[in-house]
Amino acid sequence: MDKHLFFENAYFVIGTSYAGKSTMVKELAKKHNGIACEENYHDNYPEKLDKEEFPCLTYTRDLVDWHDFIRRSPQEYKDWIDGAKRESGILELRMLPEICSKGKPVFVDTNISLDDLRVITPKNHVVVLLSDPQISIHRFFDRPDPEKQFLYKLMLEEPDPEAALANYRKGLELICSQEAYDTLLNSGFAVIHRDENRTIEQTAALIDEIFGL
């Protein structure tokens, strides 16, 4: 990472799945007439990725049979997720200078690592949103988005669908571990816990206070 990168008008949202990161990025951008860098915005990176430099991000691009994706061991799945996050962070750091040059506040659902965030932005420009790790594991296929439903369909096509689902959930358990949760909780950045009784507007107000907006 270029240690000279510093983003004064970018605000980063990190945390666990089902904590409301995507919702908050969109809400804050709307509220402050800013730019929303939503989940996986690095997919819009304009150049073709080199599979030697980005083996995890190009894995699905070059995949011949998607059933191989769900047949990986839980540890292989976790290692791929971790690698994809690292590689996504690299692309974000390449994309953000141009995005931030537009002069508007930029709200980022990010994969940039905690260590890099400590270097590139003021501490009060990062907020951690947390939800119970078990939610991500047990409600993964509850969401209607096409990607998750596509994976669910693949598992139902397996010779033993229940075994395929169990294998995938074991991977989710490794990814959504208590250790990962505690790392975010103790990151030193401000933390907001998911609360079903709090409205979107109320959560956005709490983040505004953290960001000083």
- pLDDT digits 0-9 by tens, 117-141: 999 999 999 999 999 888 877 777 7
Check pLDDT > 80 for residue 33: yes
CATH topology (fold) of 10-211: Rossmann fold (3.40.50)
Predicted local distance difference test score (pLDDT) of residue 1: 60
The pTM score is 0.90
Residue 77: which pLDDT band, with cuts at 50, 70 and 90? Answer: very high
The closest of 104, 100, 118, 137 to 17, measured between CA atoms, is: 137
Predicted local distance difference test score (pLDDT) of residue 148: 83
| For range 135-157, the mean pLDDT | 82
Distance of CA 24 to the CA centre of its chain: 13
- pLDDT tens profile 35-71: 999 989 999 998 999 999 999 999 988 899 999 999 9
Q: Are strands 190-193 and 126-130 parallel, antiparallel or unpaired?
A: parallel
Tokens of 114: 């905690």
The closest of 20, 210, 10, 205 to 129, measured between CA atoms, is: 20
User: What's the CA gap between 45 and 94, in Å, rounded?
Assistant: 9
What end-to-end distance do the CA atoms of the chain give, in Å? 28
Tokens of 14: 């990190």
Residue 147: which pLDDT band, with cuts at 50, 70 and 90? Answer: confident
Name the average pLDDT for the chain.
92
Contact 130, 192 (CB under 8 A): yes
Cα separation values, 121 from 11, 19, 30, 144, 170, Å: 8, 22, 22, 34, 35
Tokens of 28: 């804050």
